[in-house]
Amino acid sequence: MIPQETVNRILDAAQIVDVVRDFVTLKKAGADYKACCPFHNEKTPSFSVSPSKGIYKCFGCGKSGTAVGFVMEHENMTYVEALRYLAKKYNIEIVEKEESAEEIASRQRHESLLLVSEFAGKFYQDSLQTPDGQVIAYQYFRSRGLTDETIQKYGLGWAPVSRTDFSQAARAAGYKEEFLIDAGLCMKYEDGRLVDRFHDRVMFPIHSHIGRVIAFGGRTLAKPVPGKPYAKYKNSPETEIYVKSSSLYGIYFAKSEISKKDNCILVEGYLDVLQMHQLGLKNVVASSGTSLTVDQIRMIRKFTNNVTIIYDGDGAGIKAALRGIGLILKEGLNVKIVLLPDGQDPDDFARKHTLDQVQDYIDQNKQDFIGFKSDLLLGEAGDDPLKRAGLINDIADTIALIPDAVIRAMYVRSTASKFEIDERLLVERISSTRTEMLEDEQRQRQREIERKKVVMSSDDQVPPPEYVDYGMEYPDEMPPMDEVPMLEPEPVVEGSIVINAPDFAPCEHELLKFILEYGCSDLMFDRDSKYYVAGETINVAEFIDGTLADDEHDFENQSYRKVYEEYFRLYDEGLTQQQIQTRLLNSMDLEIAEVAKELLIEKHQLTVANYEKSMTSAATLLVQFVPKSLMIYQVKKLDKMISELMAGLTSNDDLEAQVETLTKISDLTRTRTMLNKELGRV
């Protein structure tokens, strides 16, 4: 059996254009690609591939699907065979195995560590309200320019002076000692005493990309004593839930803005992130005091391909920027570097300037790595030809790290022009460097293969769905919607009361379609909208989920409810909208895959008239139709509740109970009338 984690890696890696191009000659057509269909004979291309959606569709024969589905159909493979094919293509190792009892226990243990870590976060927040917390920690946060809103939002707190306050509170709440120790929150001495790792420190919780508290950074405010060990910052040790090299401080709060602005700003420390966010620059994360790692860069790549490094303008900041450039470029991301005036860090800079001033400074001072290294090293090289040659070779070696040949060529041209040298000399140096890199990688890969032999049995199978004709949405623009037609079901008779049982399927279909297609898109409400909240944005999925939760409504349609719950399970894991769509379309639960197909496919090509209508901005249509669809659904729910209460009147002879029921009916009717008025209904 292929573990689900490996299946997810394969699905994430498989790029639809890259896969289809192995078998079909594709031509660019706007945002998509077109070709003659490989599944039926045709002269006019009707086969379309959408890289943004990760799906293909032939408008001639109707075949459609994801990258996995294409390989299955074209190569006549099973689901598992297609996964193995793609794993080989993208050099993903497959270790097939059955989940053991130990692995199940490990999952449960992982959740226990997260729960005790979140308890600690709440404990430190509550401790901020104690007299010591207010006098020491709260005043420190305020002295650093942090507002109450920032302190609350980012969970900042205080670890009390006593070394046993937290451990006593945690054990009193029922948390086991082993989890307190293994989560890095407590330590146990040889004499059996359990003590808190953090005490007498202001606390910065570190969140995972899905918002779970996984670790802490604690800063002491005490002054160093000569002859005694002193550490200004104490951080959680690495644990099963916290791997420092894979974590970014602020990623949970920044990821939406990073995706929206298509850029991630990288700084060094906790306060750098907090000040930037508080100022209004919310696409900022920090490497939490560690050198930038490949895993951290890959996390950023989930949300954008563009990184802007902002480090102090001193020697340490410059060295940190130099270390990060190569890693970022090698992972295929674009990088810009901004150095602040000497002596200032992002925390200081944000506190002394307005949002516009900071943004202007970044725009005017960001450099690519060629300009950055040239400005940095040319002064040292001067007119010394050997030093200048060393600088040029250094830049060439950096260009060699870039995986995209076209981007490499552009940087070669830029460098050759800047230093007035022949492009061929740079190309030769880059070619030599890349050959050495590839040979090193091959040697490392071979050592890894020899260290860990993979035994794959052809009899072991992932229980796959049978091939489903997955759909493709077309075109990219969101067409305007008419009001959802409400089906009139047969009335249900109870006693002498006739009840119209509402059919919720059309409403739930529409809401789920919004979530699956546009769940991660922000709703840009106008300032005069009742949904507008200054300084806050909410996306489609969270808006719908929050509204339904407030009304205590669950989907009536069981299939839709299953897909709804699966969507938010994947959403909480921090997956992008496209990754969620891919997971749902490739789900091994046939019911989920079928519903996803139904909602994400356009069954017919749009007419010209519809296409012209579709040019209306998707953002404009979303703020109009998402709240409207929710109100229609709420009216349906109110209809049902009123009908059920009306039916109950005839079976209850208690006058007081009848009066109470009639009062409820009156309240619900008033709410329904208000909603109908908002909808423009009479």
Q: Judge if 55 and 113 occupy the same domain.
A: no
175 and 121 belong to one structural domain:
yes
- Is 389 part of any domain? no
Query: At residue 616, does pLDDT exceed 90?
Result: no
Q: Cβ contacts of residue 35 below 8 Å, gap of 6+?
A: 20, 24, 25, 26, 27, 45, 47, 49
Task: Examine residue 179 and state whether it is found in any structural domain, yes or no.
Answer: yes
Count of other CB atoms within 10 angstroms of residue 85: 19
Give residue 157's pLDDT.
96
Q: 229 or 473: which carries more pLDDT confidence?
A: 229
Question: Rounded mean pLDDT of 124-152?
Answer: 95
Structure tokens at 599: 């909602």
pLDDT grade for 93, boundaries at 50, 70 and 90: confident
Please tell me which residue, 475 or 519, carries the higher pLDDT value: 519
Considering the domain architecture, whether residues 107 and 15 belong to the same structural domain is answered as no
Note the pLDDT of residue 379.
64
Output the pLDDT for position 448: 66
Tell which of 189, 208, 242 closes a domain: 242
Per-residue model confidence as pLDDT tens digits over 329-340 = 988 889 999 988
With contact defined as beta carbons under 8 Å apart, do 606 and 479 qualify? yes
Query: CB-side exposure of 499: number of CA atoms within 13 Å?
Result: 21
Total structural domains in the chain?
3
Do 657 and 540 fall within a single domain?
Answer: yes
- Determine the 3-state secondary structure of 643 from DSSP: helix
pLDDT top residue among 306 and 480: 306
Tell me, yes or no, whether 63 and 121 share the same domain.
no
Segment 501-528 mean pLDDT = 81
Q: Examine residue 194 and state whether it is found in any structural domain, yes or no.
A: yes
Query: Exposed, middle or buried, 107 (CB in 10 Å: 0-12/13-18/19+)?
Result: exposed
| Residue 653 banded pLDDT, cuts 50, 70, 90 | low
pLDDT at 155 over 80: yes
Tell me, what's the pLDDT at 204?
Answer: 97
- Amino acid identity of residue 377, one-letter, is L
- Residue 326 burial (CB count, 10 A): 16
| Calpha distance 548→531 (Å, rounded) | 15
Among residues 628, 451, 596, 462, the alpha carbon closest in space to that of 529 is found at 628
Domain check: are 159 and 41 in the same one?
no
Q: How confident is the model at residue 542 (pLDDT cuts 50, 70, 90)?
A: confident
Instruction: Tell me which of 193 and 493 has the higher pLDDT.
Output: 193
| pLDDT band for position 651 (cuts 50, 70, 90) | low
Secondary structure (3-state) at 467: coil
CA distance 672 to 665: 10
* Same domain, residue pair 547 and 669: yes
Portion of the chain with pLDDT greater than 70, in percent: 83
- C-alpha span between 382 and 333 (Å, rounded): 31
Please tell me the predicted confidence (pLDDT) of residue 446: 73
- The string of DSSP codes covering 270-285 is HHHHHHHHHHT--SEE
Better-scored residue on pLDDT, 493 or 278: 278
**In this predicted model, which residue has the larger pLDDT, 192 or 216?**
216
Is residue 112 located within the same domain as residue 79? no
The whole-number average pLDDT for the span 526-541 is 78
From 89, 109, 127, the end of a domain falls on 89
How far is the C-alpha of 136 from the C-alpha of 220, rounded, in Å? 10
Determine the 3-state secondary structure of 243 from DSSP. Answer: coil
* Residue carrying structure tokens 């790692």: 293
Residues 143 and 209 in one domain: yes
Residue 129's pLDDT is 94
633 and 674 part of one domain: yes
Pairing of the two strands 334-339 and 492-494: unpaired
Region 450-476: mean pLDDT is 40
3-state SS, residue 462: coil
Does 605 score more than 70 pLDDT? no
Instruction: Indicate whether 203 belongs to any domain.
Output: yes
**437 in a structural domain:** no
Per-residue pLDDT tens for 181-190?
Answer: 999 999 998 8
pLDDT at position 45 is 86
Q: Is residue 515 one of the residues assigned to a domain?
A: yes
User: Does 650 map to a domain?
Assistant: yes
Report for 6-15, 309-318, 638-647: range of highest mean pLDDT: 6-15
Q: pTM here?
A: 0.55
- What pLDDT score does 277 carry? 96
pLDDT tens sequence across 363-395: 999 988 888 888 777 766 667 788 888 888 888
**Same-domain status, 532 and 660:** yes
What's the CATH number where 48 sits? 3.90.580.10
User: What is the average pLDDT value for the chain, to the nearest integer?
Assistant: 80
Q: What pLDDT shows up at residue 536? A: 74
| Torsion, Cα of 197, 203, 208, 213 (10° steps) | 70
pLDDT 10s digits, 30-82:
878 888 888 887 778 888 888 877 888 888 877 888 888 888 887 777 788 88
Residue 8 lies in domain: 4-89
- Please say if the pLDDT value at position 477 is more than 60: no
377 or 24: which leads in pLDDT:
24
Gap between the terminal Cα atoms of the chain: 58
Minimum mean pLDDT range among 93-107, 166-180, 603-617: 603-617
Q: Are residues 58 and 152 in the same domain?
A: no
Give the whole-angstrom CA distance, residue 19 versus residue 75: 12
Q: For position 466, what pLDDT does the model report? A: 34
Angle at which helices 558-572 and 505-518 cross, to 10°: 20
- Does residue 611 carry a pLDDT above 80? no
Res. 137 pLDDT band, cuts 50 70 90: very high
pLDDT tens digits, residue range 251-261?
Answer: 989 987 887 78
CA separation (Å) from 361 to 240, 310, 322, 330, 483?
40, 11, 20, 27, 47
**Residue 501 pLDDT more than 70?**
no
**Can you give the CATH number for the domain in which 107 is found?**
3.90.980.10
* Mean pLDDT value of segment 159-186: 95
Is 639 within 8 Å of 672 (Cβ atoms)? Answer: yes
Choose between 60 and 565: higher pLDDT: 565
Distance CA 153, CA 642 (A): 40
Q: Per the domain annotation, does 253 fall within a domain?
A: no
